[in-house]
Amino acid sequence: MVKDRMVELLQEHFELNLYEARAYVALVGFGVLTPAELASVSEVPAPRTYDVLRSLEKKGFAISQPGKVNKYRPVHPENILDKFIEEWQERIKEELELKKKAKEELLELMNPLIETEIPKYGVERVWVVRGIRNATLKTREMFEDVKEKILLADDGYIAANLEKDIIAAADRGVAVKIIVAENLLPRIKTSKLIDYAKKGKIELKVIDKFELPMLICDDEVFFALEDMAARYFNYETQIWIRDFRVRNLFEGKFNEYWEKAKEL
């Protein structure tokens, strides 16, 4: 019903509760109502009508007309809804500024902890990362921290979705070698990675298929455990390891793929 949809929209987007939304729709429909009249023409319970109407007045959706019995009329929907949106935009701006300031303060407070990252990694060398969002965040972190080289054997996600992060690393002077599965080429044919490869800023090869997709950034290795069901539901389990011996093993496998792969 149209009335139910109006009530739903007022609740979802304009911060009115169920009874307030019903009351405002009734006021718009009837023009002027007393609390008793509101109870008779809407689904607002009689004991709640006074509180609901006062709340609407406080929120700017209604105006009271004092008298022996208070009457209430609605503020025109276009006026109050525009005003609500304007105030909401200002509130969001203020909240955004507060969050930015909080971020800066947190970073300043956390700097001493961040500076102890390397000793920590001397203890914690292995992490399990689950889900596409967490994997993306970890991959970006690796690209941001890499100093010397990136070796990527990619079967469909990283090159297509994290192109900017790879390009940024290459622009910092990081040596980049990428092997992509052949079926990935259509997804990256307009990518800046292709241009960088043609200009010699990165090395890019193509291979029919490989069994072990991987990302190596300096001494860090990131790879997914084989689980088709988890991949289907975007909850793939990935392993992050920082250890030069494991890096050497994976780099050896990467080099095998590199020898088999062909130039673009």
- The phi-psi region of residue 7 (left if phi > 0; otherwise alpha if psi is between -120 and 50; otherwise beta) is alpha
Q: How far apart are CA 262 and CA 68, in angstroms?
A: 90
Class of domain 2-75: mainly alpha
Please give the Cα distance from 156 to 183 (Å, whole number): 8
pLDDT at 116: 54
Tell me where in the chain the CATH 3.30.870.10 domain(s) lie: 122-263
pLDDT digits (tens, 9 = 90+) for 87-144: 999 999 999 999 999 999 998 888 877 665 544 444 567 878 877 788 888 889 999 9
**pLDDT score for 133:** 81
Query: Alpha carbon 179 to chain centroid distance?
Result: 28
Q: Which residues of the chain have pLDDT under 70?
A: 114-124, 226-235
The pLDDT of residue 66 is 82
Residues of the chain with CATH 1.10.10.10: 2-75
Give the pLDDT score at 228.
56
Q: Report pLDDT for 25.
A: 93
One-letter amino acid identity for 175?
Answer: A
pLDDT in tens, 244-264: 899 999 999 999 999 998 887
| 156 touches 184 (CB < 8 A) | yes
User: pLDDT at position 232, please?
Assistant: 53
Q: What does CATH list as the number for 122-263?
A: 3.30.870.10
Sequence-distant contacts of 184-187: CB under 8 A, at least 24 apart: 184/154, 184/155, 184/156, 184/159, 184/160, 187/156, 187/159, 187/160
Q: Where are the alpha helices (DSSP H) in 66-131?
A: 77-114, 117-123
Alpha-helical segments (H) within 115-162 = 117-123, 132-145, 158-161
Give me the pLDDT at residue 209, please. 82
In sequence order, what are the residues at sequence separation of 6 or more whose Cβ sits closer than 8 angstroms to the Cβ of residue 54?
64
